[in-house]
């Protein structure tokens, strides 16, 4: 009779298993997941629309189509489990042979104590260099512009075919690469050990937060406006202004903050809270960007211009905007959770690490404050600022989330206001006014973002 197999036991604390992966694998994986979630989002909206309109047939058909998509999403997001067999030398209670599952045996040259566990695959999050992602993005925009340009000059079938062949990869790379470039930058900048699964979980949480946000912006808030007598949602209307300055900022930032909070088990410090908020904002922008870039390719003969402008502006403005605003929510939630877990603000020490640096050529200790400051700036990059010169980031969600809403509303509302003020002028004047204001907003966002990131470097981790 075969010996009994030892039962599975919980893995030892701190045991992690890393598998070999490529730096681009997480990007392809996230690209597939966002495409799947985009389809799920559209079908879910059809279900709700059918319920609101009393069209039960539409809701039922959409629900039938939604079920396999949800099952596919669950299957794709399943954790990767590995069976680990461990044999530790033990001359007292050990044995030379151990029974394994499936009628197998393990023989060891010395007496060993046998145990086996099921653990999740937990390699670190690895991504291509940020410069590589931005380089590929710039090449994509330039190639797409040149490929779509002939359609502006001629309607020959060959140019239309070229536009279609160029448009599909331009769409896929155009909406995804800027998000991943910011994600790669933040992963390295925050200097927090992050597993691939945890990183994906943060980005997917942001994608999922778009579903309730779209329902609020597309169905609930417009219905509310209709109830109070505001019927027009056309460009330049009061309804559009209210959606942009109230519904979008409030609904989206609350939904993103809720999904940041849903990852409370991962939030072990204020800096981690900011990282999760930043990543959730990027996940939201990834799915939102998918639709904006797709619509820009529908610009007909002006697709080359609309695609290039939309892709670049969103890549350097809207995408980091989502990340920075939700990062403020995340850091405030991080402080709140630390406090709730019994760690008072006074006991959480800020980053006041004293750097000790040796000169690589002479081997001498660098001990002057000026030398240390200059080296610190070199080590930490252009984002470095001394602790006493950085901004104070919010420590309460009652401050952090309203700040995120305000930043989002200011971006949307000011853009609408500039378009409305110049709506009666010549088209060239409208274009120049919009571009000028966009440049002002992007520069302002980068200045604010630089201050925020400099402050994040001093957060406790």
Supply the DSSP symbol for 251: I
Place of tokens 């390719």: 297
**pLDDT computed for residue 21 by the predictor:** 67
Query: What pLDDT digit, counting tens, does each position of 422-451 carry?
Result: 888 888 888 899 999 999 999 999 999 999
Spatial CA neighbour of 393 closest among 448, 314, 338, 312 = 448
Contact 174, 142 (CB under 8 A): no
Q: Is residue 18 part of a domain?
A: no
| Judgement on whether residues 114 and 162 belong to the same structural domain of the protein | no
Query: What pLDDT digit, counting tens, does each position of 303-337 carry?
Result: 888 899 999 999 999 999 999 999 999 999 999 99
Query: What order do you get walking across the sheet with 95-100 strand by strand?
Result: 81-89, 104-120, 95-100
| Judgement on whether residues 114 and 159 belong to the same structural domain of the protein | no
What's the total number of domains in the chain? 2
- pTM score: 0.85
Q: Name the residue range of residue 66's domain.
A: 25-77+94-119
- Reported as a pLDDT band with limits 50, 70 and 90, residue 31 is very high
Q: Using the predicted structure, report yes or no on whether residue 382 has a pLDDT greater than 70.
A: no
| Judgement on whether residues 229 and 194 belong to the same structural domain of the protein | yes
Q: Is residue 85 part of a domain?
A: no
| Judgement on whether residues 149 and 178 belong to the same structural domain of the protein | yes
Q: Which of 9-18, 90-99, 250-259, 427-436 has the highest mean pLDDT?
A: 250-259
N- to C-terminal Cα separation, the chain: 54
Place of tokens 């990543």: 279
pLDDT > 90 fraction of the chain, expressed in percent and rounded: 49
Round to whole Å and give the CA distance between 457 and 271. Answer: 8
Contact 207, 287 (CB under 8 A): yes
| Judgement on whether residues 236 and 332 belong to the same structural domain of the protein | yes
| Judgement on whether residues 110 and 136 belong to the same structural domain of the protein | no
Residues forming beta bridges with residue 104, ordered by sequence position = 100
| Judgement on whether residues 178 and 34 belong to the same structural domain of the protein | no
Instruction: Check residues 352 and 26 and name the one with the higher pLDDT.
Output: 26
| Judgement on whether residues 244 and 301 belong to the same structural domain of the protein | yes
Q: Is residue 386 part of a domain?
A: no
Q: Is residue 146 part of a domain?
A: yes
| Judgement on whether residues 245 and 142 belong to the same structural domain of the protein | yes
| Judgement on whether residues 338 and 428 belong to the same structural domain of the protein | yes
Q: Is residue 6 part of a domain?
A: no
Q: Is residue 383 part of a domain?
A: no
Query: What pLDDT digit, counting tens, does each position of 162-200 carry?
Result: 888 888 899 999 999 999 999 999 988 888 888 888 999
| Judgement on whether residues 56 and 200 belong to the same structural domain of the protein | no
Q: Is residue 12 part of a domain?
A: no
Spatial CA neighbour of 31 closest among 192, 174, 194, 186 = 174
| Judgement on whether residues 172 and 54 belong to the same structural domain of the protein | no
């Amino acid at each position: 009779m075969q010996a009994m197999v030892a039962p599975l036991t919980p893995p030892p604390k701190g045991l992690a298993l890393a598998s070999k992966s490529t730096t681009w694998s997480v990007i392809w994986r996230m690209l597939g997941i966002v495409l799947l979630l985009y389809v799920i989002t559209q079908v879910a909206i059809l279900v709700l629309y059918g319920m609101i309109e009393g069209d039960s047939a539409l809701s039922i058909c959409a629900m039938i189509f939604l079920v396999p998509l949800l099952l596919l999403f669950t299957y794709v997001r399943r954790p990767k489990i590995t069976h680990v067999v461990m044999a530790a030398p033990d001359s007292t209670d050990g044995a030379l042979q151990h029974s394994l599952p499936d009628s197998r045996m393990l023989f060891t040259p010395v007496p060993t104590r046998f145990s086996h566990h099921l653990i999740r695959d937990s390699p670190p999050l690895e991504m291509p260099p940020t410069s590589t992602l931005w380089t590929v993005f710039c090449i994509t925009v330039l190639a797409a512009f040149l490929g779509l340009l002939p359609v502006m000059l001629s309607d020959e079938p060959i140019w239309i075919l070229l536009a279609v062949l160029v448009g599909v990869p331009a769409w896929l790379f155009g909406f995804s690469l800027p998000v991943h470039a910011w994600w790669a930058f933040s992963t390295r900048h925050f200097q927090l050990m992050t597993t691939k699964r945890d990183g994906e979980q943060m980005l997917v949480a942001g994608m999922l937060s778009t579903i309730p946000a779209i329902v609020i912006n597309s169905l609930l808030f417009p219905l509310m406006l209709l109830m109070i007598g505001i019927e027009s949602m056309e460009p330049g209307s009061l309804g559009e202004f209210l959606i942009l300055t109230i519904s979008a900022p409030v609904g989206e930032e609350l939904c993103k903050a809720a999904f940041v909070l849903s990852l409370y088990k991962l939030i072990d410090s204020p800096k981690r809270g900011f990282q999760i908020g930043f990543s959730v904002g990027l996940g939201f922008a990834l799915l939102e960007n998918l639709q904006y870039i797709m619509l820009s390719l529908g610009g007909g003969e002006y697709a080359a211009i609309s695609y290039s402008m939309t892709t670049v502006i969103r890549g350097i403005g809207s995408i980091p905007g989502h990340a920075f605003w939700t990062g403020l929510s995340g850091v405030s939630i991080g402080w709140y959770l630390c406090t709730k877990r019994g760690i008072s603000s006074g006991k959480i020490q800020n980053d006041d690490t004293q750097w000790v640096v040796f000169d690589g050529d002479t081997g001498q200790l660098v001990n002057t404050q000026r030398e240390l400051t200059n080296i610190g700036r070199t080590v930490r990059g252009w984002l470095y600022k001394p602790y006493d010169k950085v901004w104070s980031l919010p420590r309460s969600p009652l401050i952090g989330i309203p700040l995120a809403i305000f930043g989002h509303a200011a971006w949307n509302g000011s853009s609408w206001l500039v378009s409305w003020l110049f709506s009666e002028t010549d088209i060239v004047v409208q274009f120049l006014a919009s571009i000028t204001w966009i440049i002002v907003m992007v520069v302002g966002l980068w200045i604010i973002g630089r201050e925020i990131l400099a402050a994040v470097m001093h957060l406790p981790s």
